[in-house]
Amino acid sequence: MSTSSLGATDELAVPPVGPAPVVAEIRHGRWGDIWRAISRNRKALVGVLVMLLFVVLAIFPGQIAPYDGQAEIFQPALPPSWHHLFGTTAYGQDIFSQVVWGTRLSLVIALAVGALATGLAVLVGVSAGYLGGGTDGFLSLVTDVILVLPIFPLIIVIAAYEKNAGLLTLVVVLGVLGWSYGARQLRSQTLSLRRRDFLESALVRGERKSYVILHEILPTMTSLIVATFLGAAIYAVLTAAGLQFIGLGDPNSQSWGTMLYWAQNNEALFAGMPLWAIAPGVCIALLGAAFALLNYAFDEISSPALRVRKLERARFPKAEPPPPSEPVVAVDKAVLKVENLSVAYATDGGPVIAVDHVDLELARGEFLAIVGESGCGKSTLLYAIARLLGSPLPGEIVGGRVLFQGRDLVLLEERELRRVRWRDLSVVMQSAMNALNPVLTVAEQMRDACEAHSNMSKKEIEARSRELLKLVSIDPVHLHSYPHQLSGGMRQRAMIAMALLFTPDLVIMDEPTSALDVVAQRSLMVQIKELQEQLGFAVIFVTHDMSLVSHFSDRLLVMYAGQVAELAETRDLFDRPLHPYSQGLLGAFPSLQGPKVRLVGIPGSPPDLASPPAGCRFAPRCPRAEARCTAAEVPLYSVNGSLVRCVLHERAQ
């Protein structure tokens, strides 16, 4: 069994050939990073531009507005003109000037209420989540009380009692009553962080709880705190405008809400002064939209997984559809054929090809293992074969075919794919604890799968579920257990049992042993091999550990930088590896038999797939690299039944 990771660099016996790649260390200031992130996000850019417009109006109203917004010096109800862009009010005031002067108070209310509500939410939510105990109980009770109160009617009552009390009262009332939802979210996030190792390390160092909250917890919650502030600002803009509109504010103040109040009192829409009501309403909507866009954009900037990117399909040649293939009838035909398959991911810097023109064929009942370092494209290849690419894995198949039982899965619609999945093709995910629903028992999850793909009765489903649990060496008494009540090995075997509900022709396994100890790994591999031989299904098995599959797989596919480096019979590859990368992988883990041998790691690191090296992608790390390795793309050569992508075997073709 392997006790080290592939590609380990314990000792470098041979230095890499050629100059080391130049890596430029680029240091940018925090504000520079923020601006680059904003400029690349359309929502953020629009939100910032709209917000900047209102900020300029709020700071320089006297320089932008042609008149004093309160001056009653013009003829009432004038239509729009060059002298009065929006016309005049029923009192002879310039409407455009009122809009400009009203920006300051409306923006101040939004920012002040947002800051106050966010401060209270952070104080209550984080304190409750981290301190726990009685503090959590009391603060959560207060939060729940505020949450269930009918906020808007309560605000109306308070505002009516404090009528015309001014800006401070309005800000305090809105801020004090608007923090509870944000506090609930912050408390939940704090609870999820509470037992993280970095917080435990801070306590071990002797840090005070106040330090842990301020310097350890809050920086990790920046995006949620900003979202709380922006949400509170939107709430403040709309609520303040609503209160002022119904007369529960200072009618002599200059804000968009008071403009709506006076426009409504004078029936502006029906008296020939529609812009008196429309202009402030549009400004309120635009300010709220700016806060909302910034909220969405900040979520995407702080969490790249939320960004929606579109692949530039123009960069990839459009392949002509192949002629329809004959349906597979004979049992000795291949169950799966992958032809020239390519998968690309959309990134800010352009498309990244994670799987590059991969070909493989899988016979019925065959066990194919796929190995390689992290990031070489193993899991992407599996997800492409199973057509599981998409959010949150925003990759696209940009070329090639996946022929399963004679049908091209790439061309199937989602409805047709649902009929194929689980009945004919099933997938065992990498982490069983994450793949199994934690709030449903194993029985319920197996029943869901059966009901989705068959007309079995409840008794038949129960019997089938028990039968499969026995098949994977789990006592059926655990059928009604929750995932957390099972050990890691039992959870993984339960996932395998679910994958075999309909005895599919192909089972795809993505590192199913990665979270198990060595003994459990061996036991699970023996179980998988026995089931395969008993039921006759084919297996594609992804792993980092070549030694794990050395006695179980029929063939071994070695991937490097999105390409097939070598494909051979497992025994042949272990005895006579052809590719220098395969040789490096085999030299990276110790043998349990024979004399002690000095371990040799693989120098360097895998290439960046956004800009892979020319020619052979392994050349910068290869101890046997030559000038011709980087001269052109290296094809796969056939050597004694094996396939290898290396110019050293060009003459053996």
From CA 429, how far away is CA 358, in angstroms rounded?
22
pLDDT for res 257? 86
Helix (H) or strand (E) holding 345: strand 334-347
Question: If pLDDT is split at 50, 70 and 90, which confidence band does 223 have?
Answer: confident
- Out of 242, 273, 306, a domain closes at 306
**What CA dihedral angle connects 459, 420, 568 and 535, to 10 degrees?**
20
For residue 600, the 8-state DSSP code is -
pLDDT above 50 (res 7) = no
Residues 434 and 294 in one domain: no
Q: Where are the alpha helices (DSSP H) in 177-317?
A: 180-193, 197-204, 209-211, 222-245, 256-265, 274-302
For residue 540, the 8-state DSSP code is E
Question: If pLDDT is split at 50, 70 and 90, which confidence band does 112 have?
Answer: very high
Identity at 269, one-letter amino acid code: L
pLDDT above 90 (res 120) = yes
pLDDT for res 20? 38
Identity at 434, one-letter amino acid code: N
CB 599 within 8 A of CB 607: no
Q: Which of 4-18, 231-245, 359-373, 376-390 has the lowest mean pLDDT?
A: 4-18
- Within-domain flag for 264: yes
The DSSP code sequence of 413-431 is: -HHHHHHHBTTTEEEE-S-
Q: What is the mean pLDDT of residues 170-195?
A: 85
pLDDT for res 330? 41
Picking from 546, 541, 515, the residue whose alpha carbon sits closest to that of residue 529 is 541
- Out of 279, 306, 333, a domain closes at 306
Q: Residues for the chain: how many in total?
A: 653
pLDDT above 60 (res 2) = no
The residue to which tokens 């994450």 are assigned: 434
CB 619 within 8 A of CB 628: no
Q: Is the dihedral of CA 572, 341, 424, 449 positive or negative?
A: positive
Q: How many structural domains is the chain composed of?
A: 2
| Sheet containing 350-363: order of strands | 350-363, 334-347, 395-404, 407-408
φ, ψ dihedrals at 298, nearest 5°: -65, -35
For residue 486, the 8-state DSSP code is S
Name the residue range of residue 236's domain.
60-306
- Within-domain flag for 65: yes
Integer Rg of the chain from CA: 33
Taking residue 320's Cβ as centre, other Cβ atoms within 10 Å add up to 6
- Within-domain flag for 356: no
Q: What is the pLDDT of residues 139-149, one digit of tens each?
A: 888 888 888 87
φ, ψ dihedrals at 555, nearest 5°: -130, 160
pLDDT above 80 (res 292) = yes
Q: Which of 435-439, 501-505, 531-535 has the lowest mean pLDDT?
A: 435-439
pLDDT for res 72? 83
Q: What is the pLDDT of residues 598-641, one digit of tens each?
A: 776 788 888 888 888 888 999 898 888 888 888 888 899 998 88
Residues 439 and 301 in one domain: no
From CA 215, how far away is CA 401, in angstroms rounded?
52
Asked if residue 635 has a cis previous peptide bond (ω within 30° of 0), the answer is no
pLDDT for res 307? 57
CB 80 within 8 A of CB 94: no
Residues 67 and 208 in one domain: yes
pLDDT for res 652? 61
Residues 160 and 288 in one domain: yes
φ, ψ dihedrals at 225, nearest 5°: -65, -45
CATH number for the domain including 203? 1.10.3720.10
pLDDT above 70 (res 224) = yes
Global pTM value = 0.67
Residues near 133 by beta carbon (within 8 Å), at least 6 away in sequence: none
Q: Which of 199-213, 333-347, 546-560 has the lowest mean pLDDT?
A: 199-213
pLDDT for res 236? 87
pLDDT above 60 (res 366) = yes
Q: What is the pLDDT of residues 88-105, one digit of tens each?
A: 898 888 999 999 998 998
Q: Is the dihedral of CA 510, 516, 518, 521 positive or negative?
A: negative
Q: pLDDT: is 402 or 208 the higher one? A: 402
From CA 650, how far away is CA 631, in angstroms rounded?
14
Residues 123 and 261 in one domain: yes
**Long-range contacts made by residues 453-459, C-beta under 8 angstroms, separation at least 24?**
453/419, 453/422, 453/423, 453/501, 453/502, 454/502
Mean residue pLDDT of the chain comes to 81
- Within-domain flag for 330: no
Taking residue 611's Cβ as centre, other Cβ atoms within 10 Å add up to 9
360 forms beta bridges with 338
The residue to which tokens 């041998």 are assigned: 597
Residues near 73 by beta carbon (within 8 Å), at least 6 away in sequence: 67, 92
- Within-domain flag for 53: no
Q: How distant is the alpha carbon of residue 25 from its chain centre?
A: 27
From CA 575, how far away is CA 577, in angstroms rounded?
6
- Out of 306, 323, 355, a domain closes at 306
- Within-domain flag for 109: yes
Q: Where are the beta strands (DSSP E) in 532-607?
A: 538-543, 555-560, 563-569
- Within-domain flag for 435: yes
Q: What is the pLDDT of residues 484-532, one digit of tens each?
A: 888 877 888 888 888 888 888 898 988 877 767 777 777 878 888 888 8
In percent, the amount of the chain with pLDDT more than 70 equals 84
Q: Please calculate the CA angle 481-483-486 and round it to the nearest 5 degrees.
A: 75
Q: pLDDT: is 238 or 521 the higher one? A: 238
Q: What is the pLDDT of residues 11-26, one digit of tens each?
A: 333 334 343 333 333 3
- Within-domain flag for 265: yes
CA-to-CA dists, residue 559 to 506, 572, 643, angstroms: 21, 17, 12
Q: Where are the beta strands (DSSP E) in 348-498?
A: 350-363, 367-371, 395-404, 407-408, 425-428
CA-to-CA dists, residue 130 to 108, 192, 218, 220, angstroms: 32, 10, 11, 14
Q: Residue 644 half-sphere exposure, CB side, CA atoms within 13 Å? A: 24
Q: Where are the alpha helices (DSSP H) in 13-41?
A: 30-39
Q: What is the pLDDT of residues 312-329, one digit of tens each?
A: 555 555 555 555 544 444
pLDDT above 70 (res 539) = yes
